[in-house]
Each structure stands twice: as structure tokens, then as C-alpha cells.
Chain A
Amino acid sequence: MNDLLVKDLRKTFRLSRKQRRIDRTKERRKVAVDGLSFTARRGEIYGLLGPNGAGKTTTLRCIATLISPDEGDVRVDGKSVLTDSLEVRQYISFLTSELKLDDFFTPNYLFDYFSRLHGVDAATRKKRKKDLFKRFGIDRFAEVKVADLSSGMKQKTSLAISLVHDPDFIVFDEPTNGLDVLTARTVTDYLLEMREAGKAIILSTHILSVVEKMCDRVGIIIDGRLQAEGTLDEVRRTDADANLENVFFQLVEQSEVAAA
């Protein structure tokens, strides 16, 4: 009941004529996610590993209630994205590089603004802001407009702002993508700490080392389907050398053969 449950998730997109031309397909609908099921538990980092176009972002967007599934459901602490999207958004934090902050405002203003939208009371907000800003080194830039921040500082501000409500579920699309080494390190350290604090974390990535360094359990997603799932060790063990890279490439090859 306390977990984040993805059940038989299916999502298709209507393709515009332009998209059909780009994708060289005659199909009018693209199946982005095809019957996906997995569970992310508290105190655990679940990694959704897959190549580009596998359906990772689509899955995470369904969890974040930004888009709604054609079939299946996502339950966050028992609340369904289909019927209780407001509560779901209250419980989770969703982070992707597509969620931008308005250049005009300062981190300080934005933190307060999003805290209010989440209904965080003033005292909690102040304390949380102080902690998070200090932790990510934003404090010195608190009154600098987002437009004038470095890209690393922008990312860290986005991260801090996605955590204004101290959510129990953290959903993170390609967490270290496009970050410099130092910022990436700050982010991964923070996620590990959140795991210790008992939060459920789902992250998507196409980078094997991210999974190997951080994840407790992993689901390998290819063409919208989950091809393998288990703890990192369980998945590794399917290969003779216990090498995740080998497992991954074999699965990709298999699905290419199946598709051909």
C-alpha cells in the first residue's frame, strides 16, 4: 500500500503526418508504453533502464499525471493517477530537464511560490529552504535571477524546488543528464540520502553506470515493454559473467530480432 505501483500501463500517441514522415512509418498511432508493470518500494532506488525511445519518459510522465494512460493504472500510496491526480501530485516530486523555471524570478521567490502551491506552511518552508539551499549551494545565489544562474545552478534550483513539499516519492527522468561532474555528484549523493530517509525513488536512465552505482532494483525497458526485472544482482546473474552491459545488449538484440 505504501509503494508506487505501475500496473499494466499502456500509452499510445497519435502521430501527426510530420511525425509519421520523420519516423518513416505508416502507423497512425505509436505505442510508447506497452503493458508495463513494476513496483517501486520505499527505501529503495528503482532504475528504469532503456535505450532512447524505449518509453521511459512516457512512463514517468504518466506517474506524474502530466499525461494519462490509455490502459492500466499507477497507484501512489494507494492513490490512482486516474482518479486522484491531485493527491498523487501532492505525494511525488517529478524532475526532468523539460520542466523549466521562469528566468525572471529568483530561487528564493520560486521556492516560496511552489511551497505555497503545495500548501507548505511558512515556518516549514523557511526551514526547508534554508536546508536545501545550503545543501545545494544555492544560498549565495538565492536573490539572483534564474536567467543569470549557471546551468548547473539552474538544475540544482530545479531540484530544490521539486522538493519543497518533502515528497515521499521521487521520480527523476535522466537525473545526471547534461550535468557537470560536480553537480551530478551532488544530485546522486542526495538521492542516496533520500533512500536512507525511506523515500521511494524511481529514476530513468540509458546510462548503465548510473544503474550500477545507485539502483537497488532495475527494470530493463525496450520498445515500451519490460524485458527483465529484479535486483541488480538478479538481473546481472542472467549473464555468465554477471555483466549488466552484456545483459542489456542481449536484450536489445533479442527485441531487434523479434521486431524484424
Chain B
Amino acid sequence: MKNLWVIFKKEIYRVVTDKRLVLGVFILPGLSIFLIYTIIGTAIGGQMDEEQAHVPTLYVENLPGEVEAHLDAHMDYTLQEGTIEEEALREKIREEELDLAVIFPEDFAERIDSREGIPEATVFYNQGSNHSSNAYNNFNQAMGAYHENIIMDRLDDPSDYHPYELGTVNLVDERNVVAQGFAMLMPMLIIIFLFVGVMNIGPDAIAGEKERGTIATLLVTPTRRTEIALGKVLSIALLSFASALSSFIGILLSLPQLMQFDDTLPDISIYGIGDFAVLLLVLIITVFFIVALVSIISTYAKSVKEATTLIMPFYFIAMIIGIMNSFGTDVNQSLLAHLAPIYGPINLLAGILTFEYSLVNFFATVLSTLVYTSLFVVLLNRMFSDERIMFTR
């Protein structure tokens, strides 16, 4: 088994000394993810800041004093001076020159006091404009407060308005809120990153060698087919793990930017060393599973292109399982769900991240994944000894 190590070292050396591969496999994944998420985060954050900073311009005819007091209490705004015809008013709101217009009848307040019929005011706004919609919402809240005051005045006993009190106590564990967020996103991202990492390395290391005719040179040396197969699997696993790690670092570094619109920055420190160790173990066995799968396909394929094409369906299936998991509310705790390939690890990852996994499920996933991987490696070994697969014309 000495040659396994020789092959392993050469495979690693091949990748880490190739500037093009180092860039494409270790640097670009993390860097591009960091840039994309930072740009998205900055854009979203910028938009929110801008919205918050915007002071809407209101045009109001016959603004009653009491309404004005409520408006002042609920929002910042500037009033448009002068009188504007209704047609022009509609136009200005459509064009977003004005954010909101309200036309009160002259005797609005008096009629409310004297209870003479129901006075009618008209509000113009533009739902297609964020500024206008926001102004409309704030205006509605101010009017709600005004409305409440009027009712209270009309009642003989103001306490009639509050037939009961409702006290609420929110006992949220901040840790769980963060954990839920992680459990929603991370398992999917982990699977995608691992898969992409393996696809960056696997097809070229095996199908590429077949395509270029270099594998035959290796096959005529006194090396066991098992050593070649395992040397490939182990080196691909290490390299693709590093590649996936690059993506993780990218996403971790971009988290502050991405989450800036949320006050609660996710804090990884809710997880202890033990959690991370379990997480790492699951990641490692999952990498081996994916590597074994991709290796089989790459060995079967005659070229890198064919291998990549054949892997795609599996990648999409894994991605769909991951996405489905993010939309599910709870971790599927059934034993069967933990035995399934890909779905098992995703479930277990979500379980670990939400501190809700049983030892049984943990072992179910770890052991079943190891069994699948071993079967794949046995098959791979057979394939490496099969001349029809290694020498197709």
C-alpha cells in the first residue's frame, strides 16, 4: 500500500503547484461568493438606509389641527406649499414628485364634532413607489390614532374602549432564532459547496487522465488498482474539502454585510467545540460519499466533458433536496430520513445546527453514509480493473 501514498502526494502536488488550478479551485470560489454576497448585502442595506432617510413630501388641503398633531407624532414630512388642481396632483403622484396627497373637506373637523353625517377625505398615493407606500402606511397609522381619539371622546366611559388588557411575554431564546436561521441555510449551502468542490477536482483527476492517456502509464506500473482508486479518492477528498472551505470562508466573511439589515447578527459562538466536531465529522463523511460518487462517474466517462455532464443530474438532485430542506419548518427526525443518501446528512446537519439530533439518528447517518461510500469504493476498484472501462476505443 506504499504506492497509495505516492499517488496521493502526486495528486496533491499536481493541484497545489498549478497556479491556474489554485486560483480556480481555492481562491475564486471563496472570493466570488464573498464579492457576490457583499454586493447584495451592501445593495440591500443601501436601499434600506435610503428609504429610512427619505422625508416624504405631502400635499394636504384643509389639514385639521388635530390631524396635524397626530401626523407630527407619527412621521417626518414636508408640506407642499400652494394649491394644486386634482389632475395635476394625480400626475405628480404618478411621477413620484409628490409622495402623498390628502384632500380634507373644509368642514371636516366641525362635522366630526357635531356628528353631522360622515365627512369624506381622499388620499392619493402610488403603490408602485416605495416612498409613497411608506408615506401612506405612516399616514394611516396617524389616522388610526386620530380615529381612536374620536371614539374615546364619544364614549361616556373611556374604559369601554378597552374591555380587556392583553399582556404578552416573549420568552424567545435568542440562540434558537439564530440556530433556526443557520439550519435553514447552511445544510443546503454545505451540500452545494461540497459538490462543487468535488466537481472542481474529480472529473479532471480521473476522466481527464483517461482522456489524456496518462492513466495507462500508471496502470503498467506495479501498483494495485486498489491503491490507484484509493489514492485518487483520498486526494480528491482533501482537495475538494479545501475548495469547499474556500466557499465557506467566503460566506462567513460576507455575513456581516449580508445581515446588516437585520439587527441580530448571527453569532457562531452559540455552538460549542463539540458541535463543531460533530459537524466536521459529518462534513468529512459526506465529502467522501460525494467523492466516491463523482469518482465512479468520472471513471465511467471517457472525457472530462462527459463526466461533468453525467454528474449534473446528481448535483441537481442534491441541490433540490437541500432547497426543500430549507423550506421545511422542522427537521425530519425519522430514522428513515437519516438513512437516505444526501438527504440523511442534510437532515443531520440541520439537526446539529438546531441542537436537536438524537444519537440514533447521528449513527444512522454516519454509518449508512460510510456503507454507501464503501460500496462505491468497491465498485470503483472493480471499474479500475476492468479493461473495457479503462481502455475504450
Binding site for B on A (CB under 8 A): 14, 19, 61, 64-68, 86-87, 89-90, 94, 98-105, 113-114, 116-119, 161
Contacts and interface: CB of A to CB of B under 8 A. Distances in A.
Nearest to B21: A104
Contact of A99 (B3, B14, B220, B388): B220
Nearest to A158: B217
B220 A90 contact: no
B223 interface: yes
B222 A86 contact: yes
B387 A66 contact: yes
A103 B223 CA distance: 21
Interface stretch (B107-115, B128-136, B208-216, B239-247): B208-216
A163 to B, nearest CB: 12
B213 A119 contact: no
Contact of A66 (B7, B212, B220): B220
Contact of B217 (A65, A90, A101, A116): A101
Contacts of B14: 102, 104-105
Contacts of B213: 98-100
Given A89-B221, A113-B10, A117-B223, 20 more contacts: A14-B388, A65-B220, A66-B219, A66-B390, A68-B387, A86-B222, A87-B222, A90-B222, A94-B220, A98-B213, A98-B216, A99-B220, A100-B212, A100-B213, A101-B214, A103-B212, A104-B14, A117-B218, A117-B221, A118-B221
B220 A64 contact: yes
28 contacts: A19-B393, A66-B219, A66-B391, A67-B387, A67-B391, A86-B222, A86-B224, A89-B222, A94-B220, A98-B216, A99-B216, A99-B217, A99-B220, A100-B212, A100-B217, A101-B214, A102-B212, A102-B214, A103-B212, A105-B14, A114-B217, A116-B6, A117-B3, A117-B218, A117-B221, A117-B223, A119-B222, A161-B217
B14 to A, nearest CB: 6
Contacts of B3: 116-117
B358 to A, nearest CB: 47
Given A66-B387, A67-B391, A117-B6, A104 B18 contact: yes
Contacts, number: 62
B154 interface: no
A87 B212 CA distance: 27
B2 interface: yes
Nearest to B7: A117
Interface residues of B, number: 25
B271 to A, nearest CB: 41
Contacts of A67: 387, 391
B316 to A, nearest CB: 29
B214 A118 contact: no
B230 to A, nearest CB: 14
Nearest to B228: A117
B133 to A, nearest CB: 59
Contacts of B212: 100, 102-103
B201 to A, nearest CB: 14
Contacts of B387: 66-68
Contacts of A102: 14, 209, 212, 214
Which among A90, A118, A161 has the highest number of chain B CB atoms within 10 Å?
A: A118
A19 B393 CA distance: 9
A119 B214 CA distance: 20
Interface string B176-215: 0000000000000000000000000000000001001110
Interface string B327-342: 0000000000000000
B2 A119 contact: yes
B213 to A, nearest CB: 4
A119 B6 CA distance: 10
A104 B220 CA distance: 20
A77 B367 CA distance: 46
Given A99-B217, A100-B214, A101-B214, A113 B6 contact: yes
Nearest 3 CB-CB pairings of A with B:
A100-B213, A90-B222, A89-B222
